[in-house]
Amino acid sequence: MNIRKNKMKQKLKAGELVFSASVRLPEPGLVEVMGYAGVDYVLIDAEHGSMGWTEMERMILAAYAADVTPIVRVHENNEAMIMRTLDIGAMGVLVPHCRNAADAQQVVNGALYPPDGKRGVGPSRGIKFGAVSASDYYANINDEISVSVMIEDAEAIDNIDEIVEVKGIDVLNVGTSDLAASLGVPGQPLHPKVAQASEKVLAAATRKGIAVGYPTRSIEDGVEAIKRGFRVFSCGNAAPLLLQAVEQYLRLQHGA
């Protein structure tokens, strides 16, 4: 029996675009539905969501049921938390507020086993509870774990050339809302300051072959971001997407 393959990371390695949807409510069924919709990975958002460890584990299993890659956004850069998230079955992590190279290295340390990182040994679900041979698991698992960080602070923009030098980072996600606040223009994610900072991240990451994620707000915005060179995109959060779908249906029912 072989370890699970990270389809999201395979697409990244092939130079393809990657699309996701996020889930903040502790509901496995929403994860499953997003997977059936065809996204490349579901972001289980433990930073802004209400799920605990038990709910998170069930949401990861729901992703497996839909054959979609489960990625968890943890709520802080903590090596033990990153390790535990992967031990219960996540195929990758997204870590907020990566401000410098030391932060980036800490994420890698928690996510990858030696010699690439310092992840503690206790694989559980990743090794399929012993159904996968240890030799196969440890020889290949680091290649299947995706390591993503949020670039959402002015300090991170200043240090971006150092951050991209850290080996093991697969994706830099630009967090335009937090970045706007950090740059002194809160509530203005489309402000020229934010756009300029985003381009600096894109340029630095592209030089090192690292994919960059961007929070597009419309199909047109997404098309433009693709042209600029961004490769990782979110289709949105499951709850607002459901709200919009129902509102649209009700408008049709009322002839609006």
Residue 121, domain CATH: 3.20.20.60
Residue 219: the pLDDT is 84
In a domain, 183, yes or no: yes
In a domain, 2, yes or no: no
**Domain coverage including residue 181:** 7-253
Q: For residues 118 and 134, what is the distance between their CA atoms, to the nearest angstrom?
A: 17
In a domain, 57, yes or no: yes
Is 48 an active-site residue?
yes
Residue 256: the pLDDT is 59
Residue 222: the pLDDT is 87
In a domain, 248, yes or no: yes
Q: What's the pTM?
A: 0.95
In a domain, 143, yes or no: yes
Structural tokens at position 150 = 């949020």
Q: Catalytic residue among 48, 75, 97, 191, which?
A: 48
In a domain, 67, yes or no: yes
| pLDDT, mean of each 10-residue run, the chain (256 residues) | 94 96 97 97 96 97 98 97 97 98 98 97 93 95 98 98 98 97 96 96 97 90 92 94 92 77
Q: What is the tens place of the pLDDT at every residue in 154-199?
A: 999 999 999 999 999 999 999 999 999 999 999 999 999 999 999 9
For residues 43 and 20, the answer to whether their CB atoms sit within 8 Å is yes
Structural domains in the chain (count): 1
Residue 218: the pLDDT is 82
In a domain, 15, yes or no: yes
Query: Does residue 115 have a cis peptide bond before it, meaning omega lies within 30 degrees of 0?
Result: yes
What's the CA angle centered on 115, arms 110 and 120, to 5 degrees?
A: 35
Q: 134-152: b or e for each residue (b if 16 or more CB lie within 10 Å)?
A: eeebbeebbebbbbbbbbb
CA distances from 229 to 82, 171, 216, 218 (A): 29, 13, 13, 17
In a domain, 1, yes or no: no
